[in-house]
Structure 1
Amino acid sequence: MIKPDRRGLLAAGLAGLAGPSLAQTPQPEPYLALALQTACDAVNADATPEAARARIGRAISRIGAQVRASVGFLRGFTGVAPRLVLLPEYAFTGFPQGESRELWIAKAAFDPKGREYADLATLAQGARVFLVVNAYETDPKFPGLYFQSTVILSPAGETVLRYRRMISLFAPTPFDVWDRFLDTYGYDAVFPVAKTEIGTLAAIASEEILYPEIARMTAQKGAEIYLHPTSEVGSPDLTPKEIARRARAVENMAYVVSANTGGLIGTAIPAASTDGMSKVIDPSGRVLAVAGEGESLVANAVVDLVSLRSLRRRAGMTNLMSRQPWGAYAQGYAEAPGLKPGEAPPDRDAASGRQAETIRRLVEAGVLR
C-alpha cells in the first residue's frame, strides 16, 4: 500500500477539509516570495562616519534598483506577482570587525526614524512589495546601544514588524537589558509576528535558525512564513544551518525564505566566503528554489497559503503543530541553568567571559560533562 506523503497533503488544498466556513472565506492568491541574493559592500574600511554613510546610501540605491528590476522581471516572466522580497543579513553595512560600540553606531546603525528606513519604505511602496531588511539600528530608549533588527516594510511603506535579534555572542540583544526591554516594550515585542494579507510573517536572524525555540515562540502566534536573513558559508552540502532551515520548516509546518549575501566585499575576508544558496523551503522541508553563487534572483518560489492553511487544519499524525504539549516544557525551561539575563550588554571580552561562566554552570548542573 502506498502511503500519502506530506507533499500530497499540501497539494490537496481544500479538497478534504470538513466544514464550509474556510471554503466560503475569500482566500489569498498564490504569490512569489523572493530571497534576493545581493552583495554586501561593507563599511569597515571607511575612515569616517561620513564616508560610511555615503557608502550606505550607494548600497540602498544599488540594491533598490535590483529589487525593482527583479520584481518587474519575475512578474513578466512568471505571470505571478512577487509580493515578498527578503534581503540578506546586514546587506547595507557588513558587521562590526573590531569597531567600538560608539564608532559602529556612528558609522552603521540606522535611526528607526532616519533617512535609511525612509528610503527603504519608499522602495517598498514603489515596488509594491513587503520588503524585509536586516540592519543594525539605534533606539532612543536605549541610548548608547544598537540592536541587530529585522524590519518588514509594507507596500504602503509602513513598518509592520520589528524584531531585535535575541541570540548574539557579541552584539547587544534584548536579553542583555531584559527587565528594561520588557518594561519598555512588553513581551509581545520580543517575538513579534505580522499578520498581513500575504500571511503571518516572522523573522529569524542569521544563526538563530539553529535554535528551535526562536521559531517556536512565533509558531505559537501563528507564524506561517519565516524570514531568514543570513550571511553564511554557502555550500551544496548539508551545513548545520541548512539542516536547521529544513527542520524549522517541517516542525512548524511553515515556509522558510532564506536570503544569503552574494559575497562580502570591502574587508580582508575573502569575498566569496559568504556567498550562495539563498532558498525557499516549503512546509514539508523541500527546497523549492535555490540560488548559486553571486548576485541572483533565482531563489524565488510560489507561496500557497490556501494549501498551507488546509494542511494545518487537517487532523492526523502529520499535523505536528496541533500535537504539541506546550505546557509540558514550561517548567523545564524555567529551571534550565543556561544564560542569565543581563542588566547591560557586555563588551567583547566580557561576552566571552559570560559564555565561559554559563558553560561552568552547565557543567556544575551535570548538563555538560
Structure 2
Amino acid sequence: MTAYRALALQLETRSITGLADPRAELRPAIARVDRNLGGAKAWIGPDLRLVVLPEYVLTGFPMGESVAAWRDKAAVAPGGDEYKELGEVAARHGVFLCVNAYESDEHFPDLFFQACVILSPEGEVVLRYRRLHSMYSPSPYDVWERYLDAYGIDAVLPVARTEIGNLASLASEEILYPELARSLALRGAEIFCHPTSEASAPDLTPKAIGRRARAIENMAYVISANSGGLTGIAIPGDSTNGGSELLDYEGRVLAAAGPGESVIAAAELDLDALRRHRLRPGMGNLLARVKPALWAEEYARHDVERPDGLAHAEPGRAWFTARQREVIERRYG
C-alpha cells in the first residue's frame, strides 16, 4: 500500500487529576476514542489506515502530583488491559493507531514514563517510544545505563517498518529538538506521528514552526494531533484547542483542523512520492547531505544535560527544576 489516508484525530482531553477514582475514567476514555474513531472511519472512508491521537488523551497531565502519586493514578502497564482494549479498537477499525499515555515499568517500579505506542490493525504493538525530553517527568535518559541494559538503544529510538511505511513517533515539545527527528530519519523513518497538547494560536507557534522544519529537513510526513480542548483542570479549556495538522515531506500543510473535536485534519499520504523525493539527487536532498560524524564529534565536546540523573536521586518537581538551573549555571553562569 503506497497511498492511503491518515488522520490527526482531535479529541477533548479530560483530566483525571482531581477525581476521587481516577483510574475508573480510563475505560470511558478508551470508549470515547473507539466511538470517535468509528465515526472518523465512516466519514473519511475505508482507505483511512493511520490515526494519531492527542498527547495523554486518556488522562490529561499531572498537576502537582508526585512521581509516585501520578504513577499510581494514571500510569498503565505495557501489557495491561488498557493496551489490550486499545488494540481491539485498532483492529475493529482496521487502522494503525498511535496513542500517547503514561506507563509504568517493571524495571523501574518507582517511576513512570510517557510513551507513544503504535498499535497495528491486528491489535499488536509495533512501536513503543518513551519520551526523552521532558521538563517535569522521568525519561529513559534519567536512568540511562539501566535503561539501556534492559532495552537497548533500538528501543530508545524505534522505527516500525510496516506496510504503510516506516513509522516513528515523538511527543509534544520534542518536535523542537532536531536531533531526535534526524536520528529517527537516519534510522529510516518516513512518517512522524506527533501526539501533542499545545497552545494554539492564529499565528505560527514554536511547535508549528518546528513541525515544518522537521518535515523539510528530514523529508518526512508529520501527523500532529492536538487536543480539542481541556476539561477538569483550572486552566482555560481552549488554551490547547485546535491546530492539528498534516504536513508533507516539503513542509506543506495538507490539512489542518480548527478548534473543537474534529476529523478535519486528514489527508492522503503518498509513499511513492516521498520515496522518489528521497532518491532525487540535488541540493534539496538534505538527508543525503548530512554529516553525522562531524556533529557526533562536536556534540561530544559539550556538557549540557547529563544522563543518569535519577540513578541516585528522588524524582520530584524540585529535582527537575534544580537540574535545569544547574545546567544553566554551568553553561552560562
Bin for the TM-score computed over the shorter chain: over 0.9
Percent identical residues: 53
Shift of 1:72: 1.7
Q: What amino acid maps onto 1:310 in structure 2?
A: R
Secondary structure, counterpart of 1:273 in structure 2: coil
**Displacement of 1:113:** 1.1
Hey, what's the Cα distance between the residues in 2 that align with 1:315 and 1:180?
A: 42
Q: Give the corresponding residue for 1:356.
A: 325
Letter in 2 for 1:278: S
Match 1:70 to one of 40, 46, 67: 40
Structure 2 residue runs without a partner (length 5+):
none
Aligned to 2:24: 54
Matched, 1:114 2:80: yes
The range that moved more, 185-194 or 345-354, is 345-354
Q: Which whole-Å CA distance do the structure 1 matches of 2:215 and 2:138 have between them?
A: 28
Q: Establish whether residue 165 from structure 1 lines up as the match of residue 134 from structure 2.
A: no
- Within a 5 Å distance, the mapping from 1:290-329 to structure 2 comes to 290-329=256-295
SS of the equivalent of 1:31 reads: strand
- Any conservation in 2 of the 1:179–1:343 contact (CA below 8 Å)? no
Separation in 2, partners of 1:113, 1:181: 18
Q: TM-score, structure 1 length as denominator?
A: 0.88
1:213 counterpart letter in structure 2: E
Alpha-carbon RMSD across the aligned residues, in angstroms, is: 1.0
Deviations 1:50-91 (A, max 9, x none): x2122111111012100111012110xxxx600000000000
- Residue 255 of structure 2 aligns to a residue whose secondary structure is strand
Paired residue secondary structure (1:132):
strand
Comparing 234-243 with 344-353, which one deviates more in the overlay? Answer: 344-353
Moved more, 182-191 or 97-106: 97-106
Shift of 1:236: 2.4
Question: For residues 209-256 of structure 1, what are the alpha-carbon distances to aligned partners after superposition, in whole Å with 9 as ceiling and x for unaligned?
Answer: 011011011011111000110001112211111110000000000000
Q: Secondary structure at the match of 2:300?
A: helix
The whole-number CA distance in structure 1 between the counterparts of 2:53 and 2:251 is 21
**For the residues of structure 2 that align with 1:205 and 1:66, how far apart are their CA atoms?**
22
The answer for unaligned runs of 5 or more in structure 1 is: 1-27, 365-369
How many Å apart are 1:29 and its aligned residue? Answer: 3.2
> Which residue of structure 2 aligns with residue 103 of structure 1?
69
Q: Is 1:154 equivalent to 2:120 in the alignment?
A: yes
Residue in structure 2 matched with residue 12 of structure 1 by the alignment: none
- Provide the rounded CA distance (Å) in 1 between the counterparts of 2:164 and 2:84: 22
TM-score computed with the length of structure 2 as normaliser: 0.97
- State yes or no: 1:31 paired with 2:1: no
State the structure with more CA Rg: 1
The residue aligned with 1:185 is 151
Alignment-derived partner of residue 7 in structure 1: none
Q: CA offset at residue 343 of structure 1?
A: 4.5
- Deviation, structure 1 residue 300: 0.3
After superposing on structure 2, the runs of 4+ consecutive aligned residues of structure 1 that deviate more than 6 Å are none
State the 1:318 CA deviation.
1.2
Superposed, 1:1-369 pairs within 5 Å as 28-47=1-20, 51-75=21-45, 81-344=47-310, 346-363=315-332
* Amino acid aligned to 1:35: A
Change (3 A) 1:342 1:119: same
Amino acid at match of 1:316: G
How many residues are treated as equivalent by the alignment?
330
* CA distance in structure 2 between the partners assigned to 1:267 and 1:233 by the alignment: 15
The letter for the 2-side match of 1:55 is E
3-state SS of 1:241 partner: helix
1-structure distance, mates of 2:48, 2:302: 43
Give the secondary-structure state (helix, strand or coil) at the position aligned to 2:7. Answer: strand
Deviation string, structure 1 residues 304-335 (Cα, Å, up to 9, x no partner): 00000011011111111111111111111111
